[in-house]
Structure 1
Amino acid sequence: MFEISGLSKEFHLHHQQAARIKVLEGVNFSVLAGECVALTGESGSGKSTVIRLLYGNYLANQGAIRIGGLNVADAEPREILEMRRITLGYVSQFLRVLPRVPTLSVVAEPMMNAGAGEAESLDKARTLLTRLRIPEQLWSLSPLTFSGGEQQRVNIARGFIHDYPALLLDEPTASLDAVNRATVLDLITEAKGRGAAIIGIFHDQAARDEVCDRSIDISQFAAMA
């Protein structure tokens, strides 16, 4: 489902006389359907950069990023948006939603955007919010009024409401209590069971050991120039 080959990335520092810093070079790996792979490496090794390249937030300088038949590295913006709508889900560390939209609608939105009906999407949103222990009395409120931990769980619910064939996870268990952490690991296991290909960053080593099939040390692709 994921096939990354010859991937390189450099940043241009326009405020420093257009200096160029190459951060990744020659990234090669693949992830199969039903497999969860952890990206590892020291802080600053490029793990988050890889995630952003895969999601299309960063433009690759070289190489290919194939996700379900689409080469993200040279895709048109409309193709990337369509991929995000149907194929690739992303649980980031930060919840980015419009203000004043009720939590139930926020969670249901990705499933409806993928083509599901409103009633079905709202039902699944209720199920996920219940599993992630967001009290029902909060569902009509904007999640932007919630605590950081509650916002994180809303973000997780959004990421798992549609059965994406591929998923990116950035610290999905960070700052969660033991009960909610276990729920998130169950959601990851269930996604693997239905055939999702998953790439994640997990500083929680016990969580990584529980749900990941293997790890890739991104430090090996760090560029020194």
Structure 2
Amino acid sequence: MIEITNLSKSFTLHNQGGAVIPVMQGAELSVGTGECVALTGASGAGKSTLMRMIYGNYLSATGRIMVGDIDVARAEPREILELRRRTLGYVSQFLRVVPRVPTVDVVADPLLTLGVPVEEARDRARALLARLNIPQGLWQLSPTTFSGGEQQRVNIARGFVHDYPALLLDEPTASLDATNRETVLCLIEEAKARGAAIIGIFHDEAARDRVCDRVIDVAVYTPGAQ
């Protein structure tokens, strides 16, 4: 489902005389349906950079990033937007939403974008919000006012509301209490069971051991780190 071949990335520091910093070289990764692969490596090794390239936020210097039949590295912006709508979900650590939109609609938005009837989408959103222990009294409020932990759970609900064939998870259990951590791990296991291909960053070693089938140390693709 996700196939990465000979992927490289560098950053140009225009405020430092145009210095070019290579951050990844020759990355290779394959993730099949129903499989979860963890990215590991020290801070700065390129875990988040790789995730952002897969999602289409960063351009690669070389290589291919196949998600289904779309090469993200060569795709047009409209193709990437369509891929994100239907195929590739991303649960980041930070909630970015339009202010004043009720939480239930923030979570339902991926389904509404696909044309799912409003009440059906909201019902699915409500079920996930309840499962993730977001108090019902908050559902009609904007999540911009929520605590960090509540915002993280809203992000998770939004990421799992649609059955994406591929998922990117950035520290999905960070800062969660034991009850909500267990819920998130169950959601990941359910996504795997329905065939989702998942790539995640998990600093929570116990969570990684439970849900991940393989571990890839991205440091091996960091120039000069070998």
Q: Which category of TM-score, normalised to the shorter sequence, fits these structures?
A: over 0.9
State the 1:15 CA deviation: 0.2
Tell me which residue corresponds to 1:183: 183
CA distance in 1, matches of 2:91, 2:178: 19
Alignment of 1:47-62 (within 5 A): 47-62=47-62
CA distance in 1, matches of 2:173, 2:46: 20
CA distance in 1, matches of 2:82, 2:63: 21
Q: Which runs of 4+ in 1 moved over 3 A?
A: none
Tell me which residue corresponds to 1:152: 152
1:161 aligned onto 2:161: yes
Tell me which residue corresponds to 2:121: 121
TM-score (norm 2): 0.98
SS of residue matched to 2:111: helix
Tell me which residue corresponds to 2:86: 86
Unaligned stretches of 5+ residues in structure 1: none
State the 1:114 CA deviation: 2.3
SS of residue matched to 1:73: coil
State the 1:119 CA deviation: 1.4
State the AA in 1 paired with 2:185. L
State the AA in 1 paired with 2:47. K
1:41 aligned onto 2:45: no
Tell me which residue corresponds to 1:214: 214
Tell me which residue corresponds to 2:107: 107
CA distance in 1, matches of 2:208, 2:80: 28
SS of residue matched to 1:74: coil
CA distance in 2, matches of 1:115, 1:221: 40
Partner deviation per Cα, 1:110-145 (whole Å, 9 max, x = no partner): 111123221111000010000000000000100000
State the 1:82 CA deviation: 0.5
The percent of aligned pairs where both chains have the same amino acid is: 68
State the 1:36 CA deviation: 0.4
SS of residue matched to 1:157: helix
Partner deviation per Cα, 1:145-185 (whole Å, 9 max, x = no partner): 00000000000000000000000000000000000000000
State the AA in 1 paired with 2:210. E
State the 1:224 CA deviation: 2.7
State the 1:48 CA deviation: 0.4
Tell me which residue corresponds to 1:19: 19
SS of residue matched to 2:94: coil
Alignment of 1:67-78 (within 5 A): 67-78=67-78
CA distance in 2, matches of 1:222, 1:111: 38
CA distance in 1, matches of 2:24, 2:132: 36
